[in-house]
A and B are shown apart, each in its own frame.
Chain A
């Protein structure tokens, strides 16, 4: 497992809270801090005592067996679910009471486990939906086609193309998103999320359904995105070669609780994790 990964490991440093961040991020404010986060559905506690800090340029992983509550955590961080307990501090701001779109504008963008593109819109339009937070435009100048409209139009187009370039998808700009092949849809979701100019990008199983070579390419691209945009990325993933290959800090969730946090090596050697997640030793 992950034997083909030869890159040097990021040095991780513990924070006063029990999280670790990459050494380069240690004196910076974490992009996201979850404190005692929890949610109950009826009588069932889905997530409890979720504490995590993510450095502003960290690639973090959230792993755990099926049903451990990983996607629920993403939904809590984006206010799709209102937390029963605890707080989420995003870029120093408590997100309590924010609407979902306000949380997005405050800095979190995400992709979905089951792709949720706007399938009737073109690839470029999907990206533009995300860009709308950034580029101001006017309804009337749009309908009346005033000169200012063409300026913003060009700005939109240039930005969209720039973003699509990350995955070499510019040539697909006018294709309906629903008509794209599966892998391209996954990539477009990432581009659309990036268009909202996030400081933290949440990827929910980005490699699901990809073959090993596509996964390897995705890994490179995730790293490239982090380097180019200088943002934090947190991903949920079952593909261990991807998680162990690119994540600097990993949190392991089981039955809604974090059972371990650490570097890929620490996680791989943690007996609790091995038991809960990887299966009993010798089985793999």
Chain B
């Protein structure tokens, strides 16, 4: 029964990673850049939700919505101010800028919200479910997280395969130049990608803080990096890959904590990444990149 509990917890944690990883992978797919500030958008989402609930005394759902709205705008603004001017620059310059934006967000949060951890009240007030005479307890947050992940996955798949903007995104991620010549506004497509990724980060932030209720300016860093690992594990640029990578990573992390060592769990997670990349350099669902001539 423990095994099943760990598995469900792993899927739940993995769902959070997956939602964050979607932002990484989509941005990478479209703009061919690693947005290392993505993890800190999660933290901003957490704080916005926290403020809405604790200072504005509004219900959790309002907090979630406000967090999504603010982070979506934040994502668009970050892209416009920090990354758009570097569209023609080397990828290294963009990477350094992304790290800069990450530090900026963390320090801005430190300035505004101070360093002391805030206790986040869970936005989910669904009672836990007890199965098998109370041997298996699934918390409300876990259920909501997994459900949210499934809903996001279905919506995003429908979006990329059915809508005009989704198809434009796939076209841009394959060949930016050809897409432009087919009348696709690449800048707008990139903006929408950042908007979606950041909106999802806000949801991930709220879910993460609901499950692990301490909120600090550095809250987003580690989940951000883990989600990046998840995206690479699944094959960066691939949406199903981010999903798979995220959930696998969550399960591995929880199992490592439960059966091997709590201290070593992060090391094990990264070791798994290294092994997978040695065997499949493009990630689990990533495509082999052949040099175009």
Could you list which residues of chain A lie within 8 angstroms of chain B, going by C-beta atoms? 78, 80, 99-101, 104-105, 109-110, 112, 114, 116-121, 125, 128-130, 132-133, 137, 139, 142-143, 192-193, 195-196
Contact = CB atoms under 8 A, between A and B. Distances in A.
A128 B167 contact: yes
A129 B162 contact: no
Given A101-B183, A130-B182, A137-B164, A80 B177 contact: yes
A101 B180 contact: yes
B167 A121 contact: yes
B179 A142 contact: no
Contact of B178 (A105, A118, A137): A118
B237 to A, nearest CB: 11
Contact of B162 (A100, A114, A143): A143
A133 B164 CA distance: 10
A137 B168 CA distance: 13
13 contacts: A80-B177, A100-B180, A101-B180, A101-B181, A104-B181, A109-B181, A116-B178, A121-B174, A125-B170, A129-B179, A130-B182, A137-B163, A139-B159
Given A139-B165, A143-B155, A118 B174 contact: yes
A101 B178 CA distance: 10
Nearest to B293: A114
Interface of B: 155, 158-159, 162-168, 170-171, 174-175, 177-187, 293
B180 A99 contact: yes
A99 B185 contact: yes
Contact of B174 (A105, A120, A142, A192): A120
Contacts of A110: 181
Given A101-B184, A119-B174, A142-B163, 10 more contacts: A80-B177, A100-B181, A101-B181, A104-B183, A116-B178, A121-B167, A132-B183, A139-B164, A193-B182, A196-B183
B164 A132 contact: yes
Given A130-B183, A133-B183, A142 B164 contact: yes
Most buried by B among A78, A105, A116: A116
A120 B171 CA distance: 9
Nearest to A197: B183
B179 to A, nearest CB: 7
A101 B159 contact: no
Contact of A129 (B158, B159, B163, B168): B168
A27 B184 CA distance: 33
A143 B163 contact: yes
Most buried by A among B163, B183, B184, B186: B183
A81 to B, nearest CB: 12
B61 to A, nearest CB: 20
Contacts of B185: 99, 101
Given A109-B181, A192-B182, A139 B167 contact: no
A143 B159 contact: yes
A128 B165 CA distance: 11
A78 B178 CA distance: 11
B22 to A, nearest CB: 16
B96 to A, nearest CB: 27
A112 B292 CA distance: 14
A129 B186 CA distance: 13
A109 B178 CA distance: 10
A109 B185 CA distance: 15
Report the 7 A-B pairs with minimum CB-CB distance, sorted nearest first.
A142-B163, A100-B180, A104-B183, A116-B178, A133-B183, A118-B174, A118-B171
A78 to B, nearest CB: 6
Contact of B181 (A78, A117, A121, A137): A78
B215 to A, nearest CB: 32
Given A101-B184, A109-B182, A142-B162, A132 B168 contact: yes
Contacts of A129: 167-168, 171, 179, 182, 184
A142 B156 CA distance: 12
A202 to B, nearest CB: 9
A112 B180 CA distance: 13
Contacts of B184: 101, 129, 132
Contacts of A128: 167
A196 B182 contact: yes
A139 B160 CA distance: 10
A109 B159 CA distance: 27
B159 A118 contact: no
Contacts of A109: 181-182
Contacts of B180: 99-101, 104
Contacts of A143: 155, 158-159, 162-163
B288 to A, nearest CB: 13
Contact of B183 (A105, A125, A142): A105
Contacts of A142: 158-159, 162-164, 166
Contacts of B163: 137, 139, 142-143
Nearest to B159: A143
Contacts of A112: 178
A116 B159 contact: no
